[in-house]
Structure 1
Amino acid sequence: MARILIIDDDGGVQATIRLLLERAGHSVVVASDGRKGLAVFDSGNFDLLFLDIFMPGMDGFETMRLVHQQQPLIPVVVISGNPILSGSGPDFLTMATKLGAVSSLQKPFNPAELLAAVAGCLEAAKSPSSSSVTAGEIALGP
């Protein structure tokens, strides 16, 4: 299966995503912030990256920019616990997909959404001409 890097400052989120992905047969590595994530990313060959947008130090936008400088085609799933405010502020998940993320998930998300995002991103990575996909656009399978 895939080798996946999770960069998130919340240990509970890291553990949950890791457990779900490992149960699905993936190999998972975690990092607690953008700088540590970049160091791990430099030393490994990953198929997919889960990236929290809001972290102390280096945020997810800067981390994604630096990751894409090194490996432009790696699929990135951005995640955020900040609420999407209708009309009263920026939608950071949508902003991140416009800046290069393939998919996005609003915390809390359910296991089916997470696994569907992974499947969609890995499929999109096989055909680089695919357009970006958000969690809402991925059909959930059985």
Structure 2
Amino acid sequence: MPKIDIAAAPSRSGTGYPQPFDRECQGRQRWMLGDAVGLSQFGVNLLRLPPGQWSSQRHWHTAEDEFVQVLEGEVVLVTDAGEEVLRAGDCAGFPAGVADGHHLQNRSDREAVLLEVGSRRPEYDACAYPDIDLAAPAGLDGYVHKDGTPY
């Protein structure tokens, strides 16, 4: 495969979270590097996270593993166990099926850059959001309330 031209890779800004859960994630930008070279078994993203923004709402996956490495800057990893600062070079991983909600917050005054790697199993994977009235059922492209009603 040729070298990935990051500037030309598919990207998306902001979030698909419904209001009011979208605010903290509106400034994030992801480049889908795995998509750029046709990877189908796992995803690889470059994430740029401006000051004050979050990688996601705190969540966990039923059928997808996740791995993240901080390339530049620093973020705060928030899990059920508490908070931990991650700096350039630090990594964290989240096995599928472990009900430990997690996300990254950029509380610094400069942009953070991260590499994200994860399984691609959308037909089997559900995503739970322990802190808010939000769920992402397996096989559904979108969000529902915890009682199953759509947004």
TM-score range, shorter chain: under 0.3
Which of the pair is proportionally richer in helix?
1
TM-score by length of 1: 0.28
**Bigger Cα Rg:** 2
**Higher RCO (Cα < 8 Å, 6 or more apart):** 2
**By percentage of residues, which structure has more strand?**
2
TM-score, structure 2 normalization: 0.27
